[in-house]
Every structure is written in C-alpha cells, then in structure tokens.
Structure 1
Amino acid sequence: METKGGMLISRIKQLQDRIFGKILAEQGLDINGPQGRILFVLWEKDRLTVTEIGRRTSLANTSLTGMLDRMAAMGIVERQPDPENRRQITICLTQKAREMRRDFEGVSQKMNEIFYWGFSDREIAGFEDVLEKILFNLRRWEETRKKSGRKD
C-alpha cells in the first residue's frame, strides 16, 4: 500500500505556516510561527530553560538560540539566571509579551476555524487522536535512537 501521510503533513505545515504568518501580520504581531510556539509554552508556564522550551515545542536547541536572541532583541523575552542554579539560564516573558497574548489567542482561534472548517466534533476528535498516535510514534523512535547512542 502506498502511503503519503508524511508528504501531506509537510504540505499542510507549509501552507499553515504561510497563512498563520499572514494573519499574525494582519493583527500587528511582529512574530513568526515558531516564535509564537515559544510564547505559547511560556504563557502556559513562564521561566523555562531552553531545553524545556525545545521539548515542549519540538524545536531544536540550535534553532532556539537564534530565535530567542531575536525575541530578546524585540523585548518579548529575557534571559535570567535560575535562582536555584545560577549556571542555568531561564527564559522569561516580558510585559510586552504578556500584552500580546490576547491578540495571539485570537489568531490561534482564527487558524482553528480555518483548519477545521466543515469538520464535525467527532471528526476533529478522531483526527486529533490519530495525530497524537503519530506524534507518540515519532517521539518513541527518537528516544530509542538517543538511548542506543545512534546519531544517524
């Protein structure tokens, strides 16, 4: 059986990123999709390490460093020493980022409306169950590779 789930997910992701960027710009939010994902996890729990942000967003630590530098220059995040481990740096929201939350949530709601247009609640639940299974499988594969020490 020929499958094309990965290709479809990639195409959906590319199109979704373009639309999301346009809606962010229309709302006057000068951030991109990955920066929005970083803000989203920090709005849920402020003061996270770069490693924890990477785990929660699935963004690579190498990509995060540059993004966080740009976000700090924009005045929406700050790097602060961890009070319990001064060698550890935590990423914290600024007041400017907190004020962006309502507009960002509106953009997210608009994306959900576009994404699920014509879907029933049952279809949405089933679709998201399947996506959770795929995400679990990918994480399991990655974790198995890390444990075995394989880097290929």
Structure 2
Amino acid sequence: MVHTKTSGGFLISQIKQLQGRVFEKMLKESGVDAFNGAQGRILYVLWEHERLTISEIGRLTSLANTSLTSMLDRMEEGGLIVRIPDNHNRRQTFITITEQAKAYREAYDLVSEQMNTLFYQGFTESEVTALGKMLSRIVDNLK
C-alpha cells in the first residue's frame, strides 16, 4: 500500500477537464456540433450496442442516472435517440439511436483517433500499455 503523498487524483481530474475541452473543440472543428462530450459517450455505447436501458447506459458510461435522464431528453429533442417502451416490462424503456446519430459515427471515430494520437504523443507503446494497466487498476479499486 502506498503511503506517500501523491497528486495522481488531481492530475487525473485535470486530464479529464483538459481532454474534455480539447475533444469538444475537435468535434466542433469537424462539423460535429449536435452533441457534447458526455452525450458522445452515450452515443458511443449505443453505436456499439444498438439498444440499451438507461441503467445499462449509466453502467457503461459511468454517468449518474439523474444527469443521464436530462441528457437523454436533450438528445431525444435533438433527434439523436429514441425511447422505446419494453413490451414485457412497462417500467423499462430501451434507448436506441436514430439514423441521424448513426451518420455522426465516422466523424466521431476520426476525432477520437486524433484525440488518442494527441493524448499519447511522445509515449512508447510499452508506456501506453503500462499506463492503461495502471489506470484500469485504479478503476477497479474505485469500483
């Protein structure tokens, strides 16, 4: 167990803030301004899974259900997602993406690739792998 004072948590927070701003700017410059970064995480998991419940989206994005509901409302108003009632469970609703949202996938993936290149600029492949493993351990510790 490490007892020395570290600034890892602060640095991770700072990285998250800076990365979010840069990613938003890159999306806008690519003509993708129909959604913000957090909404992009929602779209990403829907692009990967096609149809999910709100709680599944929350688990996969680490977004709280309270903020998720309002984000989904805005995304629905923007024509990005559709809510589909579950025929077998009246209390459950599925979220799926629209054709409009599917059209953003290619541009989003390109910006994500550019972001990764910037993120790991100057790192060796082994450093990237080691960092990924260490960050995954922190995530596991927090769960």
TM-score of the aligned structures, taking structure 2 as reference length: 0.94
Aligned partner of 2:84 in structure 1 is: 80
Alignment partner of 1:2 is 2:22? no
User: Which residue among 24, 28, 36 is the counterpart of 1:25?
Assistant: 28
Q: Secondary structure at the match of 1:79?
A: strand
Alignment of structure 1 residues 124-143 onto 2, 5 Å: 124-139=128-143
Deviation, 1:84, is 3.2
Aligned pairs for 1:12-91 within 5 A: 12-30=15-33, 31-91=35-95
Secondary structure of 2:141's match? helix
Deviation string for 1:70-94 (max 9, x for gaps)?
1001101010112332331011100
Q: CA deviation at 1:28?
A: 1.2
Distance in structure 2 (CA, Å) of the matches to 1:6 and 1:90: 35
* Alignment partner of 1:109 out of 110, 113, 123: 113
Q: Aligned partners of 1:92, 1:18: CA distance in 2, in Å?
A: 27
Higher relative contact order (CA 8 A, sep 6+): 2
Counterpart Cα distance in 1 of 2:7 and 2:74: 36
Q: TM-score, normalised by structure 1?
A: 0.89
The DSSP-based 3-state class of the residue aligned with 2:40 is helix
Aligned CA-pair RMSD: 0.8
Give the secondary structure class of the aligned counterpart of 1:38. helix
Aligned length: 139
Separation (CA, whole Å) in 1 of partners of 2:62 and 2:108: 20
Shift of 1:29: 1.0
In structure 2, how many angstroms separate the alpha carbons of the residues matched to 1:33 and 1:108? 11
Match of 2:104 in 1: 100
Cα distance in 2 between the residues matched to 1:83 and 1:21: 37
Unaligned segments of structure 2, at least 5 residues: none
Amino acid at match of 1:19: V
Q: CA deviation at 1:56?
A: 0.3
Q: Provide the C-alpha distance between the structure 1 equivalents of 2:60 and 2:7, rounded to a whole number of angstroms.
A: 27
Q: Give the aligned partner of residue 150 of structure 1.
A: none
**Identity rate, percent:** 54
